Amino acid sequence: MAPESLSLFVAFTAGLLSFLSPCVLPLVPSYVTFITGMGLDDVSRARRTALVHALLFVLGFTFIFVALGAGASAFGQLLREYRVWIARVGGVLMVLMGLWMLDVIRIGALQQERRMHLSDKPLGYLGTVVVGIAFGAGWTPCLGPTLGAILLLAANESELAKGITLLIAYSLGLAVPFLLSALLLDRFLGFFQKFKHNIGRVNRIAGILLVLVGILMFTGWFERLAAWLQPLTPAFLVERI
């Protein structure tokens, strides 16, 4: 597994864990009905409309995440002579965010609510994109630690395109289950009833992931581990990275 593919796997997993987090997963039905302007029963019947709105919502928050990734990568390249120290500082910050998610420490800045509220959704498909942008720009603290960790990885990338790709992978991890939920909302509600008792564990899994990746970054073992796993990566995937 090449370093890039390992980073993409971590980014996609972080996006998936963000979707399953306590303040995203329970609100998926509310977001779907809000962006479509329909009730739960209507959404289940008008799946094509729900899917279109869900795609536009995803486009909105992906735009924000990719822009953040580009900024982080550009900053990292300006300081590329200090790349080792960026990785070490990023590793420490990632461990701290992981410990916060595990409730080991308290970080005041991450406790503050910065969610952007839109009491009235702008009309039409463009309005759905705006809601997606608002989601991407302001939904913390749930997305904050995991998204921040991927931005730290992006800042440590040697090329701007690689940093952007990381945030696309993160967005996909968040987007794919959201799109499936919008398309099959009735099944999502059944899944949520069974899964809701495990939501707290998702934060702990995400916290453990951040701590492990942070330690690997700080010690320089992240790239070494990727190099060790590289023979396991399919050749067609390596050629496309």
Contact 93, 105 (CB under 8 A): no
Residue 117 has pLDDT above 80, yes or no: no
Sign of CA dihedral 18, 24, 29, 35: negative
Sign of CA dihedral 39, 180, 18, 76: negative
Cα–Cα distance measured from residue 241 to residue 238, given in angstroms and rounded to the nearest whole number: 5
Model confidence at 241, in pLDDT bands (50, 70, 90)? very low
pLDDT of residue 237: 45
pLDDT of residue 52: 92
- Residues 126-152 pLDDT 10s: 888 988 888 877 665 557 778 888 888
Average pLDDT over residues 177-203: 87
- SS3 for 183? helix
pLDDT of residue 2: 47
